[in-house]
């Protein structure tokens, strides 16, 4: 999978950055190298969070389905 990372110079210095395809992956750094490393961390955290949310939804649906099945 290819993702698009965007790096923009910040007015106050350094760079802001984000991944176009994953809105929660946003970061910054004083240098491009630091911004890349920080963005990689932000991307990992965003994906971990989305996975946890998805698992919660799956589990809550499974619990709901089991309760509905037991009612019948």
What is the band of 56 on the pLDDT scale with cuts at 50, 70, 90? Answer: confident
pLDDT of 68 over the 60 cut: no
Cα–Cα–Cα angle for 35, 24, 60, nearest 5°? 145
The Cα 44–Cα 70 span in angstroms is 39
- Residue 18's DSSP bridge partners are 6, 26
Q: Which residue has the tokens 């950055």?
A: 17
Mean pLDDT of the chain: 90
């Amino acid at each position: 999978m290819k993702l698009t990372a965007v790096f923009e110079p910040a007015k106050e210095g350094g760079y802001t950055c984000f991944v176009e395809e994953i809105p929660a992956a946003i970061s910054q750094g004083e240098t491009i190298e630091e911004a890349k490393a920080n963005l990689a961390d932000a991307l990992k955290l965003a994906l971990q969070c989305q996975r946890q949310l998805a698992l919660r939804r799956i589990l809550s649906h499974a619990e709901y389905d089991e309760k509905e099945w037991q009612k019948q």
